[in-house]
Structure 1
Amino acid sequence: MNKVVLAFSGGLDTSVCVKYLQSLHNLDVITLTVDVGQNDDFKDINKVSADLGAVEHVYVDAKQEFLNDYVTPAIQANALYQQKYPLATAIARPLIAKKAVEVAREHNANAISHGCTGKGNDQVRFDIAIRSLNPNLNIIAPIRDMNLTRDKELEYANENNIKISAVAKKYSIDENLWGRAIEGGSLENLENEPPDDAFKFVKQNNTSAGYVSIGFERGVPISIDGTRMELGLLVKKLNDVAGAFGVGIIDHIEDRVVGIKSREVYEAPAALVLVEAHKDLEKLVLTHNELRFKFSVDDQWAWLAYSGLWLDPLLTDLNAFIAKTQERVTGEIKIKMHNGSYRVVGRKSTFSLYDNDAITYMSNSNFDQRLASGFVTLWGLQSSAANKMISKNKA
């Protein structure tokens, strides 16, 4: 029982963790890489693990599970933390934790380790998910436990001949199918604009305009410009299409769970466009009351996912409501992209509640305006009465 499963990316943090787990805790390290679409060289990660002395490396292809059980609900919930961040890293962490618990059981390990710091949100997401799934497992977080800073990690890596890529020395990057998070380096200075080399999909020198039409069935994206495709391929294609027009950069001040404000830079062309398109389609097919209530549900959903409460029963409850609303969210949305901006310019659905005969100001309208007079009088009855009383008491 001297084995630990380490969630392993092959980057600076987790590479350093292997050595600390071996030298300080005298543990046999089993590295685990969960493929959620980060498009890494997984053979190279395997080699890095072996070079570091891990007793075994486990690769798990979880891309489809990530799409079905994490990305799809995020789209249907219009999930944007603080109306900005599409939660790419946040929703991947509970899945990685789930796989780590499974691998620990299979290999009779009594501990799980991760490379999270004590300043970030990922420690919350990992720890809560692990404890929820198996409270008997120990959790070891060397970076947090030893209060390591990035410069100390780089120094330790150099002393122990741990190979670190040039990109990892410059930025801390987390990537999956749903987006990329870029931290560190010059980005810590709030006055610095993120340099072009921080981004993978977004091209900021294209001043032309482009259009893309996205088809949905029951709240799930199913086509681009009329061509049906599986969600994973659709997301990849949309990253390239939207990114080519400069769409996809999020640069904002974010409130972390641990109570500090941080400057966060994300790259998520497909996520931003899909959420915007989905929200607009919902406006077309859902009633006013459904939309008002769902707005608060979506906000709560994003908070639970962001703050590591993926396994909280409330998220399951919210998913049940959201799934019901998606029964009519079928149609097509047209997006215009230009120089980093994007907006809906067209929409259609067989479930549309838009009544052209009622809304038109032409002579063929079926809306009898004379009926509105009595409605307006009744609608403002209490407001009028209250203002009369206020004026009377002032006098």
Structure 2
Amino acid sequence: MNKIKKVVLAFSGGLDTSVILKWLQEVYQCEVVTFTADIGQGEEIEPARAKAKRLGVNEIFIEDLREEFVRDFVFPMFRANAIYEGEYLLGTSIARPLIAKRQIEIARETGADAVSHGATGKGNDQVRFELGYYALQPDIHVIAPWREWDLTSREKLLQYAEKHDIPVEMKQQSGSPYSMDANLLHISYEGRLLEDPAVEPEESMWRWTTSPEKALDEPEYLDLEFEHGDIVALNQERLSPAEVLTKLNRLGGEHGIGRLDLVENRYVGMKSRGCYETPGGTIMLRAHRAIESITLDREVAHLKDDLMPRYAALIYNGYWWSPERKMLQTLIDESQLSVNGWVRVKLYKGHVMVVGRDSKTDSLFDPNIATFEDDRGAYDHVDAAGFIRLNALRMRIAAKTRKR
């Protein structure tokens, strides 16, 4: 342990990493550099700086990575329409490769010989962080306190924090706080009442979204403009990637959009119950699929859908920096060159409804062919007979065989 001279800690300022900071100083007797990534968690940033200073940290890195996060991680993921196990929009998963990347860069800048994170020994994040570390710097030393110490519960962490005069926000009389993770794409909740999958979440737990029952009584229409699969404007106003997601989060939250209560299969082997709020991402996904519906070739769209679960699992399991994810990303990004146009959605009481879509340059929808009226010879109905008979041939042969 004494061989470690300096470690870069991914520091949120929450209970876990605040305790870890002090623990690293005590156990490893090394200098700790803290790195807090501002990827949209807002009010948590400055308390993290204050806590780090209070605990004697001299090198404190707090960096605004919101634009990089959305531009280089969230948007590429949404080009793939990535959803894990049919529901989860991967809000925590997609933040980890960016944090790991910058952590390694800071380790190089400061001469640190180790990195550390606050992921538990039961969770997915330990895998995501460490796969990122090793992919970017194979010889880095990784310190994972949850796999080393005996502070094996939230209550023990709180006792340690109290003993070392570490302030803890959101402490509740009924027990430890929810385990939460927030960024510009989502906020997640685990622990407490959520450990029983039969119990409905407390309404007071939700932070970003109004309950659908209390959401605005009037629907709101929103036009989203796409270029190469990414949203570049809302209601004709050009916005940066982070501005797009920030505004969609606000609008979606007001209409009660984006709540999810999920029991998921973790990569480490167990089932886990978590709740998520992803208002902006829910709108983005629905709109992106709508613009693809008129701009993507049928077989390209179907191939993307076939590959999506594999792509989503790579992100969920921590393989963002893997060669297979990069290969899939190249294919996905190529498919998005023609995904240009606009989509109109209606937001109302927890729902996102697509009500219009168009592309002036890349639409494959031809009303002269699709019409139920006279198509003036654009489509010969007689051709369908041979098409059907040929596609039925193998089934006709099988039916005759069974009859014999």
TM-score over 0.5 (shorter chain): yes
SS of equivalent to 1:352: coil
Q: Which residue of 2 aligns with 1:292?
A: 302
The reply to whether residue 324 of structure 1 matches residue 334 of structure 2 is yes
SS of equivalent to 2:382: helix
- How many Å separate the matches in 1 of 2:202 and 2:219? 23
The reply to whether residue 53 of structure 1 matches residue 60 of structure 2 is no
- The match for 1:355 among 356, 366, 371 is 366
Q: Do 2:107 and 2:113's aligned partners in 1 also have CA atoms closer than 8 Å?
A: yes
- How many Å separate the matches in 2 of 1:55 and 1:144? 26
1:100–1:38 Cα change, 3 Å: same
The reply to whether residue 160 of structure 1 matches residue 164 of structure 2 is yes
SS of equivalent to 1:170: coil
Q: Deviations along 1:184-221, whole A, 9 cap, x unmatched?
A: 22222212222233223211112442222211011010
Cα distance, 1:167 vs. partner? 6.0
So what's the TM-score if we normalise by structure 1?
A: 0.95
- How many Å separate the matches in 2 of 1:143 and 1:208? 48
The reply to whether residue 3 of structure 1 matches residue 6 of structure 2 is yes
Q: Which runs of structure 2 are paired with 1:7-86 in the superposition (5 Å)? A: 7-86=10-89
SS of equivalent to 2:223: strand
Q: Which residue of 2 aligns with 1:374?
A: 386
- The match for 1:149 among 140, 150, 153 is 153
Q: Structure 2: which 5+ runs fail to align?
A: none
The reply to whether residue 194 of structure 1 matches residue 201 of structure 2 is yes
- The match for 2:117 among 114, 121, 144 is 114
- How many Å separate the matches in 2 of 1:335 and 1:196? 27
Q: Which residue of 2 aligns with 1:262?
A: 272
The reply to whether residue 236 of structure 1 matches residue 239 of structure 2 is no
- How many Å separate the matches in 2 of 1:27 and 1:137? 16
SS of equivalent to 2:127: helix
- How many Å separate the matches in 1 of 2:343 and 2:202? 32
Cα distance, 1:364 vs. partner? 4.2
Q: Deviations along 1:13-40, whole A, 9 cap, x unmatched?
A: 0001011111111121111111112213
Amino acid at match of 1:329: V
- How many Å separate the matches in 1 of 2:23 and 2:403? 74
SS of equivalent to 1:342: strand
The reply to whether residue 304 of structure 1 matches residue 308 of structure 2 is no
Q: Do 2:40 and 2:183's aligned partners in 1 also have CA atoms closer than 8 Å?
A: yes
Amino acid at match of 2:309: D
Q: Which residue of 1 aligns with 2:236?
A: 226
- How many Å separate the matches in 2 of 1:75 and 1:57? 32
Amino acid at match of 1:165: E
1:302–1:167 Cα change, 3 Å: farther
Q: Do 2:197 and 2:263's aligned partners in 1 also have CA atoms closer than 8 Å?
A: no
Q: Do 2:9 and 2:32's aligned partners in 1 also have CA atoms closer than 8 Å?
A: yes
- How many Å separate the matches in 1 of 2:393 and 2:154? 63
Cα distance, 1:56 vs. partner? 2.3
Q: Do 2:71 and 2:242's aligned partners in 1 also have CA atoms closer than 8 Å?
A: no
- How many Å separate the matches in 2 of 1:47 and 1:201? 25
SS of equivalent to 1:40: helix
SS of equivalent to 1:335: strand
Q: Structure 1: which 5+ runs fail to align?
A: none
- How many Å separate the matches in 2 of 1:336 and 1:283? 18
User: 4+ residue runs of structure 1 moved beyond 4 angstroms?
Assistant: none
Q: Figure out how many residues of one structure are paired with residues of the other and give that number.
A: 392
Question: How many percent identity over aligned positions?
Answer: 37
- How many Å separate the matches in 1 of 2:383 and 2:136? 59
Q: Do 1:116 and 1:144's aligned partners in 2 also have CA atoms closer than 8 Å?
A: no
- How many Å separate the matches in 2 of 1:41 and 1:368? 63
Q: Deviations along 1:198-248, whole A, 9 cap, x unmatched?
A: 223211112442222211011010111222211211111111111111101
- How many Å separate the matches in 2 of 1:41 and 1:64? 18
Q: Do 1:334 and 1:347's aligned partners in 2 also have CA atoms closer than 8 Å?
A: yes
SS of equivalent to 2:373: coil
1:251–1:64 Cα change, 3 Å: same
The reply to whether residue 128 of structure 1 matches residue 131 of structure 2 is yes
Q: Do 2:67 and 2:240's aligned partners in 1 also have CA atoms closer than 8 Å?
A: no
Q: Which residue of 2 aligns with 1:383?
A: 395
Q: Deviations along 1:76-100, whole A, 9 cap, x unmatched?
A: 1112111211112111111111111
Q: Do 1:50 and 1:56's aligned partners in 2 also have CA atoms closer than 8 Å?
A: no
Q: Which residue of 2 aligns with 1:172?
A: 179
SS of equivalent to 1:80: coil
Please report the RMSD computed on the Cα atoms of aligned residues, expressed in angstroms: 1.6
Q: Which runs of structure 2 are paired with 1:98-109 in the superposition (5 Å)? A: 98-109=101-112
Which 10-residue stretch deviates more, 362-371 or 382-391? 362-371
Q: Do 1:238 and 1:269's aligned partners in 2 also have CA atoms closer than 8 Å?
A: yes
